[in-house]
Each structure stands twice: as structure tokens, then as C-alpha cells.
A and B are shown apart, each in its own frame.
Chain A
Amino acid sequence: MGMTIVEKILARATGRQVVTAGEVVEPAVDLAMSHENAALVINQFLEVYKETGLDPAVWDPARVAIIFDHRVPAESPKTATNQKKIRAFVAKHAIRKFHDIRGDVGGICHQILPESGYVRPGFVVVGTDSHTTSHGALGAFAFGIGATEMASVWALGIAVNVEVPATINVNVSGTFPPFVGPKDLVLHLIGMLTAQGANFRVIEYHGSTVTSMSTSGRLVICNMAVEAGATAGIVPCDDETVRYLRDEAGVRDIVHRVLPDPDAVYDQHLSIDVSELTPQIACPHTVDNVKSIDAVEGKPVDQIVIGSCTNGRLDDLAMAAGILRGRKVASNTRMLVFPASGRIYSQALEQGMVADLVQAGALVMNPGCGPCLGVHEGALGDGETALSTTNRNFKGRMGNPNSEVYLCSPAVAAASAITGVITDPRKGARA
């Protein structure tokens, strides 16, 4: 009986021939990522060592990554002080995969990890962030954990008590129509599965559409797997994965291809043909409240956000810049753009995208999570509506429970910026 890719990865990480869904295992961790919530991880980590007579020591500093992104630059003295404590910890424990608030190597954790070559196919990646599922785009088993669990990983180097998840096989075929892409696909899938439809399971993506999709697109569909409740999303490693790691992430050593067995046993099979897919919108206040754009076209929007670990990459900015070049953001709306990393920001500058966006009237802000989680930069007023390429629209998500958030692709966001109302980019927008 064959194994799914996650079973294969967990077998290797536990030194066994075979593991099967439902078993409880303790995999060795290849990469352990945190962001500002490392402040809490450090607190819990020191708790573990209390009264043991031992010096607190991270099991393997080379496998720990800490990236500041959620509240950069710090929005409050409290955050700044947390960040300061984390810097001291990073220095003391010689953690080298640390990305401070910087315009060159800073950015959102789920962009920094792939672009820095920290994630490899077959890795077990844990992160104190639910969108750690993103890293499945590189063929890794990557899942979110809490801060105390991370403290345990820092101490032991293993994830204790992982129940091997069952897997949903999603086969995607067809060519995307113009202005329709990975974000529309994943929103459509979440609508099909519902917010809990993949709870405690993994989504393994297959099919010709996925094979021909760039790593950037794969990051989108794995990133949002968690919005269907999935433990992880994963695209088995292929030539594109190797290309990305070599050409974009600067990886020089051998890339081991870990793949599912042809006779792997899946919990469920789903097929999606994207050739007729329309732009999809997740309406307030749940991500699975997904509608085709025609249901909400014309709705006025007060703020448009392009960015986040879902859609703040170069191809997303290119799409927005292409649509907005020589045009203007409508006067009844405001547009905020947050490149996902400093590197992307630089590339967007070099390629003239920042100029296109700024001249159209958009604000191009610093790399980071920005308004995605409602802490600073781009709060919404009472009764306001946002249209955003981020991944969550829960009540209060952007900081104000008396506001609404609609989720969409960069193409929809950019087309809507010109009109100030939710607009179908297929109608008149230029690529």
C-alpha cells in the first residue's frame, strides 16, 4: 500500500519505513519559524527549563528562523520592546535565520522562507503562524503550531504528538481564462470544501494546471489551504520547484525529490477544471462565503489592499501595475500596496511597477503584513468596506468589527481601484 507525500515525509522524519494516517508520530523538525510571537515562545521556552538546573539552549539554532513582519515598523512601545527582547535572544542563541525590520532582507515570513532557500522538498516545517501551510508549495510538510508547542520544538527538536493526517487529493486541470488565476482557484476550492471541510487533513494538489503553475501561484493555493481547515497544503516537488530553488532562492546543494507513491491511499478525491472559472470573491465574514464576481459587482469599496503572504509577490504587483499604468485610483477609494518582501519591493522598483502604482495614486507601503491582521497601517472606519488580496475576512480582522472585508485576486483589486466599486477585470481592464 502506497503512501501520500505527507506520509512519506513523516516516515523519513521518524526514521521509519512506513507511517499511516491516524498514527501518532514525533517527527524531527527541519525548520522552526516564528515571527513577533517569538516573544511568547521565548517566555514558554524559559518556563520549560525552570528548576531543571539546565541552561536553556535551542536544540539547533541553524533550524530556527525568526522573521519580524506582523507589526513592522513597531506600532507601539509594547511591540518594540518585544522585538528588542527577541533580538537579544537571537544574538544569545546565535540564530542566523533572523530577518529584522529591513528594506533589503526583511519581509513576511511566508515569503522570506521560500525566497531565502530555507525550505526544501521533504522538510518538516513548523511555524507559529497558521499560514505556515504556504511552504507546502515547495513540497514540504508545513503546518502551524502554537507558541508553547514551538517552545517544545526549540527544546526537543521534534514535534510531539503529531497525528498523521489523512489527505485529500485535489486534481486541477484546464487553462486559466485571462485575469483568473491561483487566488480564484483556491477561493473556489474553499467555497466547495467550506471553512472546516478539510479539518485535520492535508490537501495534496495535482494536475496539469498545478504542474504549469509558478511557485508564486503554488504559494497562494497552499497558503489558503488552512482556510478550509487543512493542516497543510502541498504540491509535490517537480521541475518548477527545482527551478525556483536554484534560480530564485539561490540553492546550490542537491534537492531531494520526495513524491507520493502512485498507489497512495487518499481520503477523498476532488477534481476542478479552471477553464470556465470566473473571478471569485470571498464575502464577509467568512472565507468560505465565496461568490462569483457577478454577485457583488458594483459594490463601492473604501479601501483596496494588495499584499500579504497570499498575494504580495512580484507577479501580483505586476498584474496590478499593468492594470493601473496610466490610469488613476478612483477618488472615492484609497489603495494600499504592501510588497511581501524587501526583495520584491526592489524588483518592483527596478521594473517600474512602483512608479506605475504610485502615479496612479496608490500608496506603496513597507514590506510586511500591513493591515492584513488589523494592528496598524490601514485601519478601516465604521461601516467601511475593504477589498483585499489577503486571506481572511473574519469580523474585525482588519481591526474594526464594524467594517467589512471582501477577498479577491490582485486583478480584481486593481480593476476595482480604477472604478471604486467591485469590478470584473475581464471587462475592459488591460493586462
Chain B
Amino acid sequence: MPAVVLTLGDDISTDVIYPGRYMATVLPSETPQFAFADLAGFNTRLKSGEIPPGSVIAAGKNFGCGSSREQAVSTLKGYELTVVAGSFARIFMQNAINLGLNLITAPGFEAAEGDTVEIVGEVIRNRTSGGRFAVLPLPKARQAILDAGGLISYTRQRLLKTLRTTDA
């Protein structure tokens, strides 16, 4: 059962998730070391490996606002974290879908650190507090990318298809 490992408020910007001074580091294999670098305690816990994949970050509205930096997604993807938030900023959400970071939109979701959560159908349940919260579906437009396993393979498929059509 995944546990909530960090709780945050509204309007968490990509500057908080991945500070600008680390932006020269771009490769998804290298970005995880700087996740929430300014929250030193949490960053240390991530790097120590004590946080299992699937663990949940719980946040309020407009998670991932600000800069379009994709490092803010690849850094969380590196630990296979799940982000449950009231809502997400557009570019962050698109980047997450493109890279396969698990996002759950659950307005009003409430949890404390250490709570365990469970997703059943369209509902996320906080097993510790007993609270149940509706999960909103991702925008339909994004499903094709998820189905393809991310934007790189989606684009690759499209590219090959286009070439086949032009050859024919």
C-alpha cells in the first residue's frame, strides 16, 4: 500500500521541485539527485533510497506551475513517485504524460505524511483517515500518448507511419 511521503500546499512551482540552478543538468538519468533540492531533508531521504517506488506526494492546486523545465518531471519520475494534487499546471501535466510520471487529480484530497492510500476505480482512499476522494480523469487528448508508453515512442510510431504513407 503506497504511503504519503511529502505533503505540500497550493501553487508548488517547478522552481521548488527542481531549482533553476541545477538546470544545466538535463539528462533524465542525472536529474533525480536534485529533486526538491531546497527541501534538504526530503532530498536526502529520496537519495538514500528509503522511499519506495509508488510513494505519494500530496499537494494542493496548481502543482508544477511556472517554468516549463522538464527536469521537474524527470526528477520525480526517477524515483517513480506518484503525485496526487487538486490540479496541475498545464505544461507540467503534459510533460508528466510525455515522460510517464504518474499523476492523479483529486480535488480536495487530504492526507498527512505517513498515511497510506489506495486507488479503487475512480476513487482515491486515504486508508489511514478513511477519507475518500473522487479522481478526475486525465484529459482525453493525452490517452494516446500514455497508451504508446510515452511521447518518444508515440512520436517514433507516428514518424514511421508518416514515412510509410509517403512511400506508398
Chain A positions within 8 Å of B, measured between CB atoms, are 24, 36-37, 39-40, 43-44, 47-50, 52, 54, 70-71, 75-76, 78-79, 82, 128-130, 132, 144-149, 151-152, 155-156, 160-163, 195-196, 199-200, 229, 231, 286, 288, 373-375, 392, 394-397, 399, 401
Contacts and interface: CB of A to CB of B under 8 A. Distances in A.
Given A24-B140, A229-B62, A399-B20, A47 B90 contact: no
A129, A151, A229 — most chain B CB neighbours (10 Å):
A229
A54 B68 contact: no
B58 interface: no
Contacts of A70: 23
Given A196-B65, A374-B20, A146 B152 contact: no
Interface string B78-113: 000000000101110011001100000000000000
Contacts of B139: 163
B38 to A, nearest CB: 4
Instruction: Give the 3 A-B residue pairs with the shortest CB-CB distance, closest first.
Output: A146-B95, A40-B26, A196-B62
A129 B142 contact: no
B65 A396 contact: no
22 contacts: A24-B141, A37-B70, A39-B26, A40-B70, A50-B156, A71-B23, A78-B24, A82-B24, A130-B68, A149-B98, A156-B158, A161-B145, A195-B65, A199-B89, A229-B89, A229-B90, A392-B15, A394-B66, A395-B38, A397-B20, A401-B19, A401-B38
Contacts of A132: 68
B163 interface: yes
A199 B20 contact: no
A163 B21 CA distance: 32
A145 B154 CA distance: 16
B115 interface: no
A43 B73 contact: no
A24, A160, A163, A399 — most chain B CB neighbours (10 Å):
A160
Which interface class (under 10, 10 to 19, 20 to 34, 35 or more) fits B?
35 or more
Contact of A160 (B27, B67, B71, B145): B145
Interface in B102-131: none
B90 A231 contact: yes
A146 B68 contact: yes
B94 A145 contact: yes
| Majority-rule SS of B interface residues | helix
A152 to B, nearest CB: 4
Interface in B12-53: 13, 15-16, 19-21, 23-27, 38
A408 B165 CA distance: 53
| Majority-rule SS of A interface residues | loop
A59 to B, nearest CB: 10
B69 interface: yes
A266 B69 CA distance: 30
A396 B38 contact: yes
Interface of B: 10-11, 13, 15-16, 19-21, 23-27, 38, 61-62, 65-71, 73, 87, 89-91, 94-95, 98-99, 139-142, 144-145, 150-152, 154-156, 158-160, 162-163
B15 A130 contact: no
Given A48-B152, A229-B90, A374-B19, A43 B27 contact: yes
A229 B10 CA distance: 13
Contacts of B89: 196, 199, 229
A199 B91 contact: no
Contacts of B91: 130, 144-146
B90 A199 contact: yes
Given A130-B68, A395-B16, A52 B160 contact: yes
Nearest to B63: A196
B156 A48 contact: yes
Contacts of B13: 392, 394-395, 397
Given A130-B66, A130-B68, A199-B87, A43 B26 contact: yes
Contacts of B10: 196
Given A37-B26, A156-B158, A394-B13, 19 more contacts: A48-B155, A50-B156, A52-B156, A76-B24, A145-B94, A146-B73, A146-B94, A149-B94, A160-B151, A161-B142, A195-B62, A196-B65, A196-B87, A199-B89, A229-B90, A375-B23, A392-B13, A395-B15, A396-B15
B141 A162 contact: yes
A52 B87 CA distance: 37
A37 B23 contact: yes
Nearest to B65: A195
Contact of A397 (B15, B24, B25, B69): B15
B24 A71 contact: yes
B90 A82 contact: no
Contacts of A397: 13, 15, 20
B44 to A, nearest CB: 16
B81 to A, nearest CB: 18
A250 B41 CA distance: 53
B63 to A, nearest CB: 10
A48 B23 contact: no
Nearest to A128: B68
Contacts of A395: 13, 15-16, 38
B95 A54 contact: no
Contacts of B62: 195-196, 199, 229
Contacts of B23: 36-37, 70-71, 373, 375
A395 B141 CA distance: 33
Contact of B67 (A40, A82, A145, A373): A373
